[in-house]
Amino acid sequence: MPLQNYQYDTIMREYSRRQAQSRYDLEQRRTAVYEEIPRLKEIDREVASLSADKARALLGGQDCGLDDLKASITLLSRERMDLLDANGYPEDYLEPHYVCPLCQDTGYIGSQKCTCFKKAEIELLYAQSNLREILEKENFDHFSFDYYSDTITNDATGLSARETALRAYNTARSFVRDFDDRFQNLFFYGNTGVGKTFLSHCIAAELLKSAHCVLYFSAFDLFDLLAQSTFSRKAEHTDEEHFIFDCDLLIIDDLGTELTNSFVSSQLFLCINERIMRRKSTIISTNLKLEDFSDTYSERTFSRIASNYQMVKLIGKDIRIEKIFLGGK
């Protein structure tokens, strides 16, 4: 999805800051070097005057004398570079120094976003996803099947924990691959520590790389934010609620660990339903058993999830505990 206005403004403010800093730094260098080499100031004045004469001649359609003007400017420019070099300065010392020379810190090359702007988009989305640091470790490259048993099986499917994890992994990969082509949602469920959150992070990492807007919330933090938005008149809370409904992917982690009440149940249905209506993807992970879910929230909410989400179960031992016994490997 396109950046929200406030996200775009955040990036453009950084470009404005860079441009202002570049102008300030150039002026500081120019002032210092003019004092050291007065002739440079004279040259710059002469070049500016000749350039103005050249511009007036071109606007007036006068060809006479243009070659002389060009030659004079070239000679002065050469003298300028020689003076800088003779005094130990690089030739571009009196030119603006940009963070990105390609777009000269404007963010655009013509009408197209510069590569630095696209990088800034991704950086901003990472920062706002609440996942920046965790995704360095929890991504598809670090997903391991070693923690899943070949002997523990799912009674319903007959698949082992490892086979079940492989199926969930492939589902997560397909979710990323098809993300832009079809609307889809995932519901990860199973016991504590079997990899539900890890797989959610894997998906988030891949989508953030391609500049999709991903938001991650624990269930507690999400409902706390929605409560603030509901009971506060502050504009920033309204904006945050809107973004929850409209981001490319919303991840709700550990659903069922929060204090559940009528407000939480109604807000969960609102969030799920609103995102389905807008065709915005959502991933939910929970330790709750399916038969307990509708009792915890409502049959209406579970029905909405069951008919619009792919249900993905993971089984096995608590990987966090397994890692402790294996020395963190």
Could you read off the pLDDT of 72-94 as tens digits, one per residue? 888 988 998 999 999 999 988 98
Across 304-309, average pLDDT:
95
Answer for the pair 123, 27: CB distance below 8 angstroms, yes or no. Answer: no
Q: How far is CA 47 from CA 50, 80, 186, in A?
A: 5, 10, 65
- Is pLDDT at 250 greater than 90 in this prediction? yes
- 161-190 residue pLDDT tens: 999 999 999 999 999 999 999 999 999 999
What pLDDT sits at residue 130?
67
Note the pLDDT of residue 118. 80
pLDDT band at 235 (very low <50, low <70, confident <90, very high): very low
* Helical (H) or strand (E) element with 109: strand 108-109
Q: Which DSSP category does 1 fall into?
A: -
Helices (H), ranges, 129-286: 161-177, 196-209, 219-231, 235-246, 262-277
User: Are residues 195 and 224 in contact, defined by beta-carbon separation less than 8 angstroms?
Assistant: no
User: What mean pLDDT is reported for the chain?
Assistant: 87
For residue 239, pLDDT over 60 is answered with: no
Give 245's contacts (C-beta < 8 A, 6+ positions apart). 271, 274, 275, 278, 280
**Diameter of the chain measured on Cα atoms:** 93
SS3 breakdown of the chain: % helix, strand, coil, rounded to 5? 60, 10, 30
CB under 8 Å, gap of 24 or more: what pairs does 32-37 form?
33/84, 33/87, 33/89, 33/93, 33/94, 36/87, 37/83, 37/84, 37/87
Question: What letter does residue 60 receive in the DSSP assignment?
Answer: T
User: pLDDT category, 67, cuts 50, 70, 90?
Assistant: confident
Confidence of residue 300 (pLDDT cuts 50, 70, 90): very high
Whether 208 shows a pLDDT value over 60: the answer reads yes
Contact 116, 15 (CB under 8 A): no
pLDDT at 328 over 80: no
